Structure formats: structure tokens, C-alpha cells
């Protein structure tokens, strides 16, 4: 927060600095324009004199040129009445007088008097009285009889300012024709050329120029002023936008810190009340808000009651009343709308948007200028709101709102998670009680990581540790239904267990399950004994007829499903066995059957099945053997009878008749095959007796 305050202070100082720079530029601009106006005015004074000099010079040059032309040409003749020098008379009797330069100048001056510039030839002793000098001219001529330098001055005549200049004139031979002067005195002063230039018209013209220049400077100042002002405002606006973006980013970062702190509180599984208090605290501490509070709806009164708050404006919460009833005068505020409509409600300008409401006066006293309300959801139902207040208008940017939405969502998630956690703890306590009641090892485990969650006393005595991975948690297969699953499994030490498991949670997709094992070694031993009695011949120890029939049926069913290999059947019947019984007794006959079974078993391959069919008959199943292989084995079996069987002191000779059939050439079912092999055996017996 200190960093944020320093940034705000720095931004404010920067705006003040730019405003001061703008005013300094304004003053410099005004100073430059004023300097330009003053300099122009100063220049105008010199320009008045320069223009007057220029006008006088032009007038002198003009008259000088006229004089030269008049002296070097026939000149101009005008009609006269009286006689005089340089006259001519025309054929019709008209007398013409040649005009001298001064006369020409007089005529030109009289015709151009409106120009304001007056010029004439003056002299101390002029021929024409109009060329007599005035007092100033006379003074200047008398003072400059020995010089030909130009004389100029600014004088006042009849109250008007004038620029006056005198150009002394020297006599020439051409001039003597008009003057009664001897040639010996050719260097006498003929007089001077005098020019009188009024300054007032020039000043008026230049005044208008000065006025126009000043107007242009004023217009230039106007555009410069607005240019500087617009540029300054643009820069200040950009600074303001930059500062606002920086403030928004800082606020967003602060709220993000608050969001992280809220997440830590959720991870620590704080109780609901502690969680609300922590959320309000971190919102004020990290988010920079002046007030944060959590309100829960009272279902009976429909009022939003504060359950936790933090900040310097806590008195505001005590002064206001908020209802979720839309018909109530207290049910139209941002908090009420957020709860009823389950959406965030942002008030950017509290003064304008909530003027005239019950919350306006308390907000003014507290200094609230903007606020935000976010709904709190528990089990898909809005139960309250999370409220935040700031002392600045337009405080909540879009990014800030999104982070606060996430914060309120995390609060709602935490409430649901706390409820589920509470239910889980209660269920776990109940499960522990139920499991402890079982008389055999039992536990609750997770299928995904084979980790023990709960174990009863029997399991703990076996070394099972709660929370650790245990191989006994590995299931033979994952559940595909909610029913109890049972599998039997033999341990490495030969003992047998019946493993039972079933899922106990509805929301975890069967990952949590009840697992227990029952020792069924004794039962399996009993089952094996029963199966042995049912499927084994008690005299010879060989499989009996019942076992053989079941195996034959399984073999035929397997062939019907996936076409297994061929197999052959051999039926062996002892020759003269009744004579042994009659001669030596049934005990010797039984011993002979045992010996014959052992000798036959010694000839067979692994995988072949030898069974006592009944009485003195034996049957053999030969998987993968064709007819020729069956005949070959029949010969080998008969050869085993070539040696007598030693039974104590007796050597008993015996022989056998063998019938052989092959599947499927001789039959496709058990009945056909057994009938065919029986026929083959009796055919062989008839051959033996013949």
C-alpha cells in the first residue's frame, strides 16, 4: 500500500510539473510575441525615415533626369505673349518660349501636389520669385555656399512633421543661357534642389502595417495558446490514463495477492467463520479497499446479516439495513440485487447512482464513493454476498472485477469443500467404526494410488500403515459396478485368500473402496479334497471317468468356439484280467491295475490325459495327435505289456486290446467318439482271441 501511495503522489507531482511547464511555455510564448511587436515598432521608426529618404531620393533623381534631358535636348516650348530670350516665332505668328528646368519642375509639382512630396529648385538669387527659399532653406543655403554635400533634417511645418533634404546644384555652361552671369564666374552657386516629404502619411501607412502585424501576432498567440493548451491537456490526459492504468494494474496485483492469501486460507481448511474473517482481512490489507464485509441471508427475516468485516468504514455496516425482499424499501440496493440475481453488481459512482436511497447518507458520512457486491453460493444456492468499498469513484476496473469474481468463486468453492470435508469426516468416522467391527483384516483404500485411508485393528496388527502405499490394496481388477466383487487368490506361501471389495463413494467414480481379505486356505483344502474324491480313482490314483467326460466336453466346446487342434482317443481293455482275479484273488488284481496305470503313465507325454474308465479299462486323450500318431502310441503301449508285472513273489503276464479314434474324422461329439473308440477296441479284442 505504501508503494501504491508513493506512485499516486509521484503521478500528482508529475501532473503539477507538466502544468507548470505549460504555463512557463505560455509566458515564453507571450514574451516572444511581445518582443516581436516591440521590435517591429522600433523598426518602424527607422522605416519611416528610410521611406522618406527613399521618396526624396526618387524625387531628386526624377527631377535631375528631367533637367538633364531639358539641357541636352530642344526642351519644351510654351506659347507666350511678351518677348524674351530663347523664343521662337512660328510661321503663323505664335511666339513660343523655351521653358527652363525650374519652370518644368513647377508645372510637374503643381500637377502632382496630391502625392504629398514637394520638390523645387531654390536659390538665394533666383530668376523666378517662386524659387525663393523659406527661412530654413535660406539658412541652409547660406551655411553651405562652399560645399556640395547633401543637407537633410526632420522639421515641423505648420504642426506637421516633415523630412527635408537639400541637394546643392553647381552651375554648368548650359545653365548660363538663362542667367545674366558672365562666363568668368561659372562656378557660382546656382542654388539647390529642395525636397519636402511629409512624414505623417508614411507614419499612418506604417501604423496600419504595425496594426496588421499586431493583429497577426495576436492571432498567432491565440493559435499558440490553444496549441500549447491542447498539447498540455493531451499530455496530462495521457498521464492520467497511464496513471489510471498503473493504478488499475497495482490494484489488480494487490487483489491477486488477496486471492493468493484466500487460496492459502482455503488450503488450510479454515472453518467457515474464520474463512470469512480472513477473506475480509486480506481484501483490506492487500486489495486496498476501505471496507470489506460478508453478509449471510437470514431465511426468516430475509435480512442480510454481517458475519465478518474489516476496514476503516466498519460503522457504515452498522448503520445500514439490507434485505433480499424485492418489495422492501431496503431490497433495491446492490447487495440485494447481487443475491437475488446471482451476479456481481458494481457501483462506479455511489453519489450519483444511489442518491435518494437509504444507503446514501451513511455512505456520505463514511466517505464511500464506489462499491462492488459479489454473490456467495453454497450447494448451488446463493446464501449471501461479499461486499467491497472504495473511497474513489470508478475504482473497479474490468480486470479487478474478474479477479474479485474469482475470489468470490473460491469462497463458494471453499464452503462446498468444507461441507464435503465435514461429511467425509463423519462418513470416515462411521466407516472406522464399521470396519473395526469386522473380525478379519479390512481397510478403506484408493484404487488409483493403492494408498490406505482407513484400516481396522486386524489390518494394523498385520503391519498396514494408514496413509502409505500397500500392495495389499492392489485389486485384481477395477470395479465396473457398485456390487460387491469377490476374487480368490493364492499367496506365495501357498495359502489362499478370498479378496472382497466394493466402492463406497458416489462422487469419486469408484476410486475409494472397502477392501478386506478372508483366509480360505482350509476351505480350499476341503474343496480340493472333495474335488479329488469326485474326480480321481481311489485305487490307481488316476483321474476317473467323470473327470474324463468333463474334460472331453470342455475340449469339444473350445473347438466349437475357436477351432482347436485335432486330438485322438485311446481305449485300453486288459486281456484275461478276470482269470487273474479268479486265480490270485481280487487283491492281486487291484495291485495289477495300479502297476499297469503306472507303466502306461510312463509312456505318455506331458499334456496327455490317462484315466481309469472302469473295471479293467483305461482311456487316454492325446491332444494334437492324428490317427497315425495314435496308432504308433498304441503299439508302444502294447509293448509295455511284453514284460511281466512283478507283484511280490508273483510275476503276472498281461496284455491289452486298444481302440483308437481321431477327432473330427471319427466323430464330432463325445457320444460319437466314445462309441467309435469302443467299437475299435472290441474289434482289436476279437483279433486277439482269434
d(CA 165, CA 158): 18
CB burial string 202-240: b at 16+ within 10 A, e below: bbeebeeebeebeeebeeebeebeeebeeebeeeeeeee
Sorted by sequence, the CB contacts under 8 Å of residue 583 that are 6+ apart come out as none
Query: Mapped to the 3 state alphabet, what secondary structure does 496-527 carry?
Result: EEEEEEEECCCCCCCCEEEEEEEECHHHHHHH
For the residues of 59-107, what is the DSSP string, one character each? HHHHHHHHHHHHHHS---EEE-SS--TTEEE-TT--EEEEPPHHHHHHH
Distance CA 454, CA 442 (A): 9
- The per-residue DSSP string of 17-68 comes to HHHHHHHHHHHHHHHHHHHHHHHHHHHHHHHHHHHHHHHHHHHHHHHHHHHH
Residues 466/487, Cβ–Cβ less than 8 Å: no
**Nearest-10 crossing angle of helices 545-562, 521-535:** 100
Q: How far is 364 from 63, CA to CA, in rounded Å?
A: 92
**Cβ proximity of 409 and 342 under 8 Å:** no
Selecting among 616, 626, 628, 651, the annotated active-site residue is 616
Place of cell 491332444: 623
Distance separating the N- and C-terminal Cα atoms of the chain: 120
Distance between CA 672 and CA 662 in Å, rounded? 11
d(Cα 449, Cα 498) in Å, to the nearest integer? 22
Any catalytic annotation for residue 616?
yes
Q: What are the helix (H) ranges across 288-375? A: 314-319, 334-341, 350-353, 360-366
The radius of gyration computed from the CA coordinates of the chain, to the nearest angstrom, equals 69
Measure Cα distances from 511 to 420, 431, 470 in Å: 16, 16, 15
Burial of 533 (0-12, 13-18, 19+ CB in 10 A): exposed
The SS3 of residue 181 is coil
Q: Say if CB 453 and CB 466 are below 8 A apart.
A: yes
Reading the block at residue 334, the C-alpha cell is 446492490
The residues annotated as belonging to the active site are: 616
Amino acid at each position: 500500500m505504501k508503494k501504491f501511495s508513493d506512485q499516486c503522489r509521484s503521478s500528482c507531482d508529475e501532473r503539477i510539473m507538466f502544468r507548470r511547464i505549460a504555463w512557463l511555455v505560455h509566458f515564453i510564448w507571450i514574451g516572444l510575441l511581445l518582443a516581436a511587436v516591440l521590435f517591429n515598432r522600433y523598426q518602424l521608426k527607422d522605416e519611416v525615415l528610410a521611406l522618406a529618404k527613399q521618396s526624396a531620393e526618387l524625387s531628386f533623381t526624377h527631377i535631375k533626369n528631367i533637367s538633364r534631358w531639358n539641357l541636352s535636348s530642344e526642351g519644351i516650348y510654351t506659347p507666350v505673349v511678351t518677348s524674351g530670350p530663347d523664343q521662337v516665332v512660328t510661321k503663323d505668328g505664335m511666339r513660343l518660349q523655351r521653358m527652363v528646368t525650374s519652370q518644368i519642375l513647377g508645372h510637374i509639382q503643381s500637377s502632382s501636389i496630391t502625392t504629398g512630396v514637394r520638390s523645387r529648385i531654390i536659390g538665394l538669387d533666383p530668376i523666378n520669385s517662386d524659387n525663393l527659399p523659406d527661412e530654413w532653406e535660406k539658412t541652409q543655403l547660406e551655411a553651405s555656399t562652399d560645399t556640395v554635400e547633401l543637407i537633410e533634417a526632420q522639421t515641423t511645418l505648420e504642426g506637421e512633421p516633415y523630412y527635408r533634404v537639400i541637394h546643392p546644384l553647381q552651375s554648368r555652361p548650359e545653365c548660363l543661357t538663362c542667367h545674366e552671369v558672365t562666363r568668368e564666374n561659372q562656378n557660382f552657386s546656382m542654388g539647390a534642389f529642395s525636397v519636402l516629404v511629409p512624414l505623417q502619411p508614411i507614419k499612418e501607412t506604417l501604423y496600419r502595417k504595425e496594426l496588421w502585424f499586431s493583429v497577426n501576432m495576436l492571432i498567432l498567440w491565440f493559435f499558440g495558446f490553444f496549441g500549447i493548451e491542447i498539447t498540455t491537456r493531451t499530455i496530462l490526459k495521457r498521464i492520467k490514463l497511464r496513471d489510471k492504468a498503473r493504478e488499475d494494474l497495482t490494484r489488480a496485483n494487490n487483489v491477486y495477492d488477496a486471492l493468493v492469501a484466500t487460496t492459502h486460507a482455503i488450503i488450510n481448511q479454515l472453518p467457515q467463520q474464520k474463512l470469512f474473517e480472513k477473506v475480509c482481512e486480506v481484501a483490506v490489507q492487500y486489495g486496498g479497499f476501505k471496507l470489506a464485509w460478508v453478509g449471510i441471508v437470514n431465511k426468516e427475516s430475509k435480512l442480510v446479516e454481517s458475519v465478518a468485516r474489516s476496514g476503516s468504514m466498519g460503522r457504515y455496516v452498522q448503520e445500514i439495513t439490507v434485505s433480499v425482499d424485492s418489495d422492501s424499501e431496503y431490497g433495491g440496493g446492490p447487495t440485494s440485487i447481487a443475491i437475488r440475481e446471482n451476479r456481481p453488481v458494481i457501483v462506479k459512482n455511489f453519489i450519483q447512482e444511489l442518491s435518494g436511497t437509504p444507503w446514501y447518507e451513511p455512505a456520505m458520512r463514511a466517505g464511500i464513493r464506489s462499491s462492488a457486491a459479489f454473490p456467495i453460493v453454497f450447494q448451488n444456492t446463493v446464501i449471501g454476498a461479499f461486499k467491497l468499498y472504495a473511497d474513489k469513484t470508478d475504482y473497479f476496473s474490468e480486470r479487478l472485477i474478474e479477479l474479485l469474481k474469482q475470489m468470490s468463486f473460491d469462497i463458494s468453492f471453499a464452503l462446498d469443500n468444507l461441507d464435503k470435508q465435514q461429511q467425509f469426516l463423519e462418513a470416515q468416522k462411521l466407516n472406522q467404526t464399521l470396519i473395526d467391527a469386522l473380525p478379519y483384516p479390512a481397510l478403506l483404500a484408493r484404487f488409483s494410488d493403492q494408498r490406505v485411508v482407513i484400516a481396522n485393528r486386524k489390518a494394523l496388527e498385520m503391519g498396514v500403515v494408514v496413509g502409505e502405499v500397500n500392495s495389499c490394496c492392489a485389486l485384481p481388477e477395477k470395479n465396473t459396478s457398485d456390487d460387491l466383487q469377490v476374487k480368490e487368490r493364492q499367496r506365495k506361501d501357498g495359502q489362499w485368500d478370498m479378496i472382497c471389495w466394493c466402492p463406497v463413494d458416489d462422487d469419486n467414480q469408484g476410486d475409494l473402496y472397502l477392501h478386506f481379505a478372508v483366509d480360505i486356505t482350509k476351505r480350499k483344502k476341503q474343496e480340493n479334497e472333495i474335488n479329488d474324491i469326485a474326480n480321481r480313482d481311489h485305487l490307481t490314483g488316476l483321474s476317473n471317468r467323470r473327470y474324463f467326460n468333463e474334460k472331453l466336453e470342455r475340449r469339444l466346446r473350445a473347438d466349437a468356439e475357436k477351432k482347436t487342434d485335432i486330438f485322438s482317443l485311446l481305449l485300453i481293455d486288459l486281456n484275461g484280467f478276470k482269470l487273474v482275479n479268479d486265480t490270485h484273488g481280487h487283491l492281486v488284481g487291484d495291485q495289477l491295475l495300479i502297476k499297469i496305470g503306472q507303466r502306461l503313465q510312463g509312456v505318455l507325454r506331458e499334456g496327455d490325459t490317462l484315466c481309469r474308465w472302469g473295471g479293467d479299462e483305461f482311456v487316454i486323450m492325446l491332444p494334437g495327435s492324428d490317427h497315425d500318431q495314435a496308432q504308433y502310441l498304441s503299439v508302444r503301449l502294447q509293448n509295455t505289456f511284453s514284460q511281466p508285472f512283478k507283484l511280490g513273489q508273483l510275476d503276472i503276464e498281461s496284455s491289452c486290446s486298444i481302440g483308437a479314434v481321431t477327432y473330427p474324422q471319427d466323430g464330432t461329439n463325445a457320444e460319437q467318439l466314445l462309441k467309435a473308440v469302443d467299437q475299435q477296441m472290441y474289434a482289436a479284442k476279437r483279433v486277439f482271441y482269434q
